[in-house]
Amino acid sequence: MEDRRSFLKKTAAGLTFLGLASAIPIDLFAKEDVVILTILHTNDMHSRIEPFPQDAGKYAGFGGMAKRAGLINQIRKQEEYVLLLDAGDIFQGTPYFNYYGGELEFKLMSEMKYDAATIGNHDFDNGLKGLKDKLPFATFPFLIANYDFSDTILANQFQPYKTFTRGPLKIGVFGLGIELKGLVLDSSYENTKYINPVSVAREMVQELKQKECDLIICLSHLGYKYPDSRISDIELAKQVEGIDLIIGGHTHTFLDNPIPVISPDGNQTLITQVGWAGIKLGRLDYAFSKGGKKKVSKSSSLLIN
């Protein structure tokens, strides 16, 4: 218990950069029971099964799914409640994808016990049939709320959201994908319809609030931010209230700490992303007071080398 209290004091002290700690006395966590939720996340793995080779410059020796699996297992032994999520672009980037078409990636993620993932634009690179044929190798659900597959062979293959229970906590997770037109060959996504992610996100938040979720997470493959009017994670957070955390992808953005954005209701949405190719594993720890009424977070970006 003393080690946990020490951890919580350090956690609260480290929250100043997020502007979340000032209203929550550190002593509060030393006196009452809390629930710690550890969220682990990846994005844009791009079929990087093995570490980068030694002639790969600054990334030499980094990454690799075996090393990631070892780190995840270590964290799971240390923490009671863990959620492992991915923000898309699992496919494309190494000969493993060219040869196996995504089968190996899904099998290894299943071995690591991913809880959920969303779909990135490169996950369409072998077309709808190529994606559908590999889905049986994934034991985790793909969450995507703003793609309508009803007029395709992928109809009824995906869920818009899923709720997860960790101890006394209920966590709602939904997925959003980037507009495919102009980014993916028309023949690769066929009659898949793209729906405005802002309106869909608002619907998802209301649905998950009705389910009394303690935390609402968006798995986004929209991209961190753009110099033009394209919808991004930053813009989504500015326009949609009620999202606690956006785990992003697509832009290969390395964020050492989550970025807080003020949503329309005045609350903060945190945005995080860990680059690409499995070089890093993101970690975000939430501490909930009894009853889940107070929550704070501390993050780290764990280099896999």
Would you tell me how many other CB atoms lie within 10 Å of the CB of residue 252?
17
Q: How far is CA 76 from each of CA 71, 132, 299, rounded to the nearest angstrom? A: 9, 31, 16
Task: Give the model confidence (pLDDT) of 147-161 as tens digits.
Answer: 999 999 999 999 999
- Domain positions in the chain are 33-303
pTM: 0.89
**Element of type H or E holding 94:** none
* CATH number given to 33-303: 3.60.21.10
pLDDT value at position 241? 97
Q: What is the DSSP letter of 53?
A: P
Average pLDDT of the chain is: 90
Task: Give the model confidence (pLDDT) of 235-284 as tens digits.
Answer: 999 999 999 999 999 999 999 999 999 999 999 999 999 999 999 999 99
Indicate the pLDDT class of residue 293, thresholds 50, 70 and 90.
low
CA angle 89, 92, 97 (to 5 degrees): 125
The 3-state secondary structure of 189-241, one letter per residue: HCCCEECCHHHHHHHHHHHHHHCCCCEEEEEECCCCCCCCCCCCHHHHHHHCC
Indicate the pLDDT class of residue 7, thresholds 50, 70 and 90.
very low
Contact in structure between 64 and 48 (CB atoms under 8 Å): yes
Task: Give the model confidence (pLDDT) of 120-149 as tens digits.
Answer: 999 999 999 999 999 999 999 999 999 999
Residue 1 has pLDDT above 50, yes or no: no
pLDDT value at position 229? 87
Residue 4 has pLDDT above 80, yes or no: no
Separation CA 190–CA 131 (nearest Å): 13
Percent of residues, the chain, with pLDDT higher than 90: 83
**Element of type H or E holding 187:** helix 186-189
Residue 85 has pLDDT above 50, yes or no: yes
- Nearest Cα residue to 176 out of 156, 155, 198: 198
pLDDT value at position 298? 75
